[in-house]
Amino acid sequence: MKTQHFSFVPFIFTFANALFGFLSVIKTLDEHYTAAAWCIVLAAIMDMVDGSLARMLKSDSYVGRELDSLCDAVSFCFAPAILVYRWSLYQVPPYGLIVLGLFLCCGLFRLARFNVAHAHQTTHFTGLPTTMAAFFLAQVVIAEPWIAHSVLASALRPERMTFIVCLIAMLMISSIKFPSTKYLHMRVVTIGLMVIASGLCIIALMRGYPLLLVIATVYIVGGFLLGIVREIARPLLRP
């Protein structure tokens, strides 16, 4: 059967992405912060599935890309900003509000820049993807009980969270290249990173660490360090 008969299927998941983002905001307003964070995680899954389906069904289109960006703006820019404000940063006015406004604007700029440079970003993303930024913040909220009883407990202080959110916002609009999971090439560096990440995930499972938070942190920190190394090595590799 021709794949164009199913070209509407990716749109279902794209709209589901936005609906989970909307539900996240509702749950935040109801002060169900963990549920709101899980809605953002589900939105991220929908975002991953709709892109994969669009490529598989060869139904990628300009309308689909624009719609995907609009839905991402709801789920990965607006929803996490509302969640983190009501969960923690309302305690540090006006800095919490300013930083989350910065997060929102940086996320929107990141989405617009990706749309313009989409054809040129095949093996990497320029700047931290909004999906991963929101996923990371959601995992911090979900893992709050574990973090509160670990050596990282001080990171939950509102002033520390303000710094973390500001850092995430800056990474989104940075020129640092983060690896794209959509177009991974089996190079030596990629294989090495996958082995290290897998090892860390196994350790996380064995020691009872929050696995999804570990994965998000490894991606962000690893991508940042790899980007810095790449920038330092680039002049040395030029003939």
CB 128 within 8 A of CB 168: yes
Structure-block tokens of residue 35: 């549920």
Rounded Cα–Cα distance for residues 46 and 142 (Å): 19
Domains and CATH numbers, the chain: 3-237 (1.20.120.1760)
- What is the full per-residue pLDDT of the chain (239 aa) written as tens digits? 455 556 778 889 999 999 999 999 999 999 999 999 999 999 999 998 887 777 777 777 778 888 999 999 999 999 999 999 999 999 999 999 999 999 999 999 999 998 887 655 556 788 999 999 999 999 999 999 999 999 999 999 999 999 999 999 999 999 888 877 654 444 545 555 666 667 766 777 677 789 889 889 988 998 888 878 777 776 665 55
Distance, in Å, from the CA atom of 164 to the CA atom of 159, rounded to the nearest integer, reads 9
First to last CA, the chain: 52
Side chain identity at 150, as an amino acid letter?
S
Runs of H (alpha helix) within the chain: 9-29, 33-56, 62-72, 79-87, 95-117, 130-142, 144-148, 158-172, 188-207, 211-237
> What is the DSSP code (8-state) at residue 91?
G
Tokens representing residue 31 in the block: 């002060």
Structure tokens at 9: 């299927």
Model pTM score: 0.87
Structure tokens at 197: 């990440």
Provide the 3-class DSSP secondary structure of residue 124.
strand
For 151, phi then psi, to 5°, come to: -70, -10
Q: Are 27 and 39 in contact (CB under 8 A)?
A: yes
Owner of token pair 């069904």: 57
Contact assessment for residue 40 and residue 83, using Cβ atoms and an 8 Å cutoff:
yes
